Amino acid sequence: MDKGLLEAKERAVELLTGCFRRGNKLLLCGNGGSAADCGHIAGELIKGFLLRRPLPEKIRQALPADARLQRGLPAIDLCAQGAAISAIVNDLGGESIYAQQVLAFGRPGDVLLGISTSGNAKNVCLALQTAKALGLETLGLTGRSGGRMRPLCDCLLCAEADETFRVQEEHIRLYHELCAKVEARLFEE
């Protein structure tokens, strides 16, 4: 594996771990298969992925004995906001679907993860620009070149592939690894 990618992965883990330790949240956006990946990543973070995440005793005692809840990490999939997306597309245009949500949800210290296999998705790039203007940290998953996202990301993970489906295959491996490492740092006992 490329040394640059190894360093970027470690930087991404630090960026996400720091975000969650500060009590901030992760926002995610992408198109098509990358939108599906956003939901996948959010799902791995919102509840236990590889580790048990027991609730703090005070919370556990306040819940019914049979409540099967786990500590979660705040990850918001901006691709899943159907009503908001349709209103934004109708009123502002498709390039604004994620940037408008970043304006609404994003706060300094949060992280925006943008996913684009080419690195050139206009709506993802505008969301990253908006995030930076608001003081969010930016993380990207792209194909080999990084595309237009390269200068917009504080940390960029470029798959070692160019074909869309190959990039997506590498993205799955990369984000599973990130989720596992973040979870281990935050929840291992």
Calpha distance 171→164 (Å, rounded): 10
3-state secondary structure of 114: strand
All residues at 6 or more sequence positions from 19 whose CB lies less than 8 Å from its CB, including other chains: 25, 26, 109, 110, 111, 137
Residue ranges per domain, the chain?
Answer: 3-187
Fold of 3-187: Rossmann fold (3.40.50)
What pTM was computed for the model? 0.96
List per-residue pLDDT tens for the chain, 189 residues long.
578 889 999 999 999 999 999 999 999 999 999 999 999 999 999 999 999 999 999 999 999 999 999 999 999 999 999 999 999 999 999 999 999 999 999 999 999 999 999 999 999 999 999 999 999 999 999 999 999 999 999 999 999 999 999 999 999 999 999 999 999 999 985
